[in-house]
Chains A and B, each alone.
Chain A
Amino acid sequence: SQQGEEDPQALSIQEGENATMNCSYKTSINNLQWYRQNSGRGLVHLILIRSNEREKHSGRLRVTLDTSKKSSSLLITASRAADTASYFCATPHNQGGKLIFGQGTELSVKP
């Protein structure tokens, strides 16, 4: 299957705690992206990490990429209730913009 695997599938934490989500693929990964999906809404792009980068920061987000292990992680620090959403990793496959998405991690941040 081309689908990425995300772990955990669901995560429930308290406000202020950190949340870590992991993503792995069976095929090679390249320029991995993370998206957020709020309930009943479309996906929103969060961050892109290029295949020659190992770590990238954006505000409270920290993303790592290990191309040899075909895996990535997303860390959200000091979580807020508004971070409650599903988070998806995605990597391009061949040309034409085809993104292979992970299964998603459903994050619930309790106030």
Chain B
Amino acid sequence: DTAVSQTPKYLVTQMGNDKSIKCEQNLGHDTMYWYKQDSKKFLKIMFSYNNKELIINETVPNRFSPKSPDKAHLNLHINSLELGDSAVYFCASSPSSGGATDTQYFGPGTRLTVL
């Protein structure tokens, strides 16, 4: 019944490793997002996809690569993890193509810790 789900909830890994976070939404929404929340709770958008098409690609290192196999899924792969990648990553979705009044529905977050 979970609307936006993410796995895993916690991820602890060593510097230099490659890891993936998965996101699924069962709301039938067209647009999905990845956000990064740092230790000061500052929330910044990283990517958004509308119906499998990349719409927003913020200034994010190219070690981060999103992939959307279908409009219900948006995964985030991170290569060569660095200490500064430690954060909570949130997936979100919204009904349409990200209109100005679109409500975004957030997943529970994935806490990534890079050692």
Interface, chain A (partner B; CB < 8 A): 3, 30-31, 33, 35, 37, 40-45, 48, 50, 86, 88, 92, 95-99, 101, 103-104, 106
Are the C-beta atoms of A45 and B108 separated by less than 8 Å?
no
Residues of B within 8 A of A (CB): 4, 31, 33, 40-45, 48, 50, 55-56, 90, 92, 94, 97-109
Closest chain B residue to A44 by CB distance? Answer: B106
Whether A3 contacts B42 in the complex (CB less than 8 A), given A42-B108, A43-B90, comes out as yes
Q: Are B105 and A48 in contact (CB under 8 A)?
A: no
The closest CB in chain A to the CB of B33 belongs to A97
Given known A45-B105, A96-B97, contact A104–B41 (CB-CB < 8 A): yes
In whole angstroms, how far apart are the Cα atoms of A45 and B3 in the complex? Answer: 13
Please give 13 more A-B residue pairs, beta carbons under 8 A apart, in addition to A48-B101, A86-B41, A95-B98.
Answer: A37-B41, A40-B109, A42-B4, A92-B98, A92-B100, A92-B102, A95-B55, A95-B97, A98-B48, A98-B56, A101-B42, A103-B41, A106-B41
